[in-house]
Structure 1
Amino acid sequence: MIHLIPLRSVRILLSVVVAACWLGCGNDRIDVPPSPYPISPDAFSVDTLAGGFTIPFGVAVVEEDEYYITDRVGQLFHYTAGALKEVNGMPAVATFGTPGLAAILHGGLMDVSLHPAYRDNGLLFASYLDTEGFARVSRFRIEDGRAVAFDTIFSTRQPNWSGNGMRIVWQDSTHFFLNVGNSDFSSAAHPVLYAQDMSSDAGKIHRLLADGSVPPDNPVFPGLTGPTTVWSYGHRDVQGLVYEPLTQTLLGIEHGPKGGDEFNLIKRGGNYGWPLFSYGIDYDGGPVSMITEDSAATFTVLPEHYWTVPTDYGGQALAPACLLQVDESNIADWDGYFLFGSLAYRRLMKYDRATGETFGLDLPGRVRTLAQLPGGDILALVERNDLSQSNGMVLRIGR
Structure 2
Amino acid sequence: MKHKKQRIYTISIKGIIASLLVGCLISCTNTEIHVPHSPYPMSEDSFSLDTIARGFTIPYGIAIVEDNEYFITDRIGKMFHLKNGQQIEITGMPAIVTFGTPEIPAVMHGGLMDISIHPSYSTNGWIYISYLASDGFAKVSRFKIQDQTATAFETIFTTRAQNYAGNGMRIVWEDDTHFFLNVGSSNFSTKANPFLNAQDLQDDSGKIHRIMDDGSIPEDNPIFKGLTTPTTIWSYGHRDVQGLYFDPTTQTLFGAEHGPKGGDEFNIIEKGKNYGWPLFTHGINYDGALVSTISEEEAATFTVFPEHYWTVPTEDGGRAIGPSCLLKVDGSTISDWNDYFVFGSLAYRRLMKYDRKTDETFGLSIEGRIRTLKQLPSGDLIALIERNDLKKSNGMIIRIKK
Once residues 325 and 116 of structure 2 are traced to their aligned partners in structure 1, the CA distance between those partners, rounded to angstroms, is: 14
Matches within 5 A, 1:111-130: 111-130=114-133
Q: 2:206 aligns with which of 200, 203, 209?
A: 203
Matches within 5 A, 1:48-127: 48-97=51-100, 100-127=103-130
Matches within 5 A, 1:130-149: 130-149=133-152
User: Which residue pairs with 1:213 in the alignment?
Assistant: 216
Matches within 5 A, 1:1-399: 27-97=30-100, 100-399=103-402
Once residues 106 and 314 of structure 2 are traced to their aligned partners in structure 1, the CA distance between those partners, rounded to angstroms, is: 27
Deviation at 1:27, TM superposition (A): 2.7
Deviation at 1:137, TM superposition (A): 0.5
Q: TM-score, normalised by structure 2?
A: 0.92
User: Which residue pairs with 2:7 in the alignment?
Assistant: none
RMSD between superposed Cα atoms in Å: 1.0
Deviation at 1:253, TM superposition (A): 0.3
Which structure has greater strand proportion?
1
Per the alignment, in what secondary structure is the counterpart of residue 333 of structure 1? helix
Once residues 100 and 239 of structure 2 are traced to their aligned partners in structure 1, the CA distance between those partners, rounded to angstroms, is: 20
Residues 178, 205 of structure 1: 8 Å contact kept: yes
Residues 96, 104 of structure 1: 8 Å contact kept: yes
Deviation at 1:101, TM superposition (A): 2.5
Once residues 166 and 34 of structure 1 are traced to their aligned partners in structure 2, the CA distance between those partners, rounded to angstroms, is: 29
Once residues 295 and 56 of structure 2 are traced to their aligned partners in structure 1, the CA distance between those partners, rounded to angstroms, is: 43
Deviation at 1:326, TM superposition (A): 0.2
After TM superposition, the structure 1 stretch with the greater mean CA deviation from structure 2, 341-350 or 96-105, is: 96-105
Residues 97, 106 of structure 1: 8 Å contact kept: no
Per the alignment, in what secondary structure is the counterpart of residue 321 of structure 1? coil
Residues 182, 202 of structure 1: 8 Å contact kept: yes
Deviation at 1:98, TM superposition (A): 6.3
Per the alignment, in what secondary structure is the counterpart of residue 107 of structure 1? coil
Deviation at 1:388, TM superposition (A): 1.0
> CA-to-partner distance for each residue in 1:83-118, whole Å, 9 max, x for gaps?
211001111111114685312110100000010000
Once residues 148 and 102 of structure 2 are traced to their aligned partners in structure 1, the CA distance between those partners, rounded to angstroms, is: 31
> CA-to-partner distance for each residue in 1:199-249, whole Å, 9 max, x for gaps?
100000000000000000000111111100000000000001111112111
Residues 369, 381 of structure 1: 8 Å contact kept: yes
User: Which residue pairs with 1:15 in the alignment?
Assistant: none
Per the alignment, in what secondary structure is the counterpart of residue 120 of structure 1? helix
Q: What 5-or-longer segments of structure 1 have no aligned partner? A: 1-25
In the alignment, residue 176 of structure 1 is paired with which amino acid?
F
Residues 112, 132 of structure 2: 8 Å contact kept: yes
Deviation at 1:82, TM superposition (A): 0.7
Once residues 87 and 97 of structure 1 are traced to their aligned partners in structure 2, the CA distance between those partners, rounded to angstroms, is: 23
Once residues 207 and 158 of structure 1 are traced to their aligned partners in structure 2, the CA distance between those partners, rounded to angstroms, is: 18
In the alignment, residue 373 of structure 1 is paired with which amino acid?
L
Residues 143, 151 of structure 2: 8 Å contact kept: yes
Q: What 5-or-longer segments of structure 2 have no aligned partner? A: 1-28
Residues 103, 391 of structure 2: 8 Å contact kept: no
Once residues 351 and 282 of structure 1 are traced to their aligned partners in structure 2, the CA distance between those partners, rounded to angstroms, is: 25
In the alignment, residue 347 of structure 1 is paired with which amino acid?
R
Per the alignment, in what secondary structure is the counterpart of residue 199 of structure 1? coil
Once residues 84 and 288 of structure 1 are traced to their aligned partners in structure 2, the CA distance between those partners, rounded to angstroms, is: 45
Once residues 359 and 87 of structure 1 are traced to their aligned partners in structure 2, the CA distance between those partners, rounded to angstroms, is: 37
Once residues 197 and 27 of structure 1 are traced to their aligned partners in structure 2, the CA distance between those partners, rounded to angstroms, is: 42
Once residues 298 and 370 of structure 2 are traced to their aligned partners in structure 1, the CA distance between those partners, rounded to angstroms, is: 36
Deviation at 1:81, TM superposition (A): 1.9
Once residues 190 and 357 of structure 2 are traced to their aligned partners in structure 1, the CA distance between those partners, rounded to angstroms, is: 32
Once residues 302 and 276 of structure 1 are traced to their aligned partners in structure 2, the CA distance between those partners, rounded to angstroms, is: 12
Deviation at 1:394, TM superposition (A): 0.2
> CA-to-partner distance for each residue in 1:119-161, whole Å, 9 max, x for gaps?
0101100001100110100010011111100010000011100
Q: TM-score, normalised by structure 1?
A: 0.93
